[in-house]
């Protein structure tokens, strides 16, 4: 991996990594390796097409494994969201106005 991509990840600029040709090529390779199947569904004996490639060791925690095949797995979006519950803020939203029922 180019040093500039590693530095970008370490500075928090993961978008630069995800737009790089290195990532886009690796993503294609992993999807092909996994037959474009969600590996979590496959492990349960079910089928769902893969829509993304997930880093088992999170990119920000282990940028050195960003392009390592054994650290990458094909998942559907639903399973990927299960892997990242921190992305979802489940706090109730503030009420915009007072209800008058």
Q: What pLDDT shows up at residue 62?
A: 93
Residue 14: both structure tokens together: 């993961």
| Alpha-carbon gap, residue 99 to 97, rounded angstroms | 6
pTM of the model: 0.80
pLDDT in tens, 36-73: 999 999 999 999 999 999 999 999 999 999 999 999 99
Distance CA 33, CA 45 (A): 18
Q: What are the distances in angstroms from CA 8 to CA 36, 54, 100? A: 29, 19, 51
Give the pLDDT of residue 1. Answer: 76
Task: Please say if the pLDDT value at position 89 is more than 80.
Answer: no
Which residues fall within 8 angstroms of residue 14, CB to CB, at 6 or more apart? 8, 59, 60
- pLDDT value of residue 100: 65
According to DSSP H, which parts of the chain are helical? 3-10, 14-18, 21-33, 39-43, 77-83
Tens-digit pLDDT profile for residues 30-46: 999 999 999 999 999 99
Q: What is the mean pLDDT of residues 14-24?
A: 95
């Amino acid at each position: 991996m180019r040093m500039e991509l590693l530095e970008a990840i370490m500075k928090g600029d993961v978008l630069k990594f995800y737009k790089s040709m290195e990532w886009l090529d690796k993503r294609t390779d992993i999807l092909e390796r996994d037959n474009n199947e969600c590996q979590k569904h496959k492990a349960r004996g079910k089928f769902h097409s893969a829509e993304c490639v997930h880093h088992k060791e999170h990119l920000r925690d282990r940028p050195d494994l960003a392009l390592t095949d054994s650290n990458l797995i094909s998942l559907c979006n639903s399973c990927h969201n299960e892997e990242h519950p921190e992305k979802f803020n489940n706090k109730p939203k503030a009420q915009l106005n007072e209800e008058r029922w």
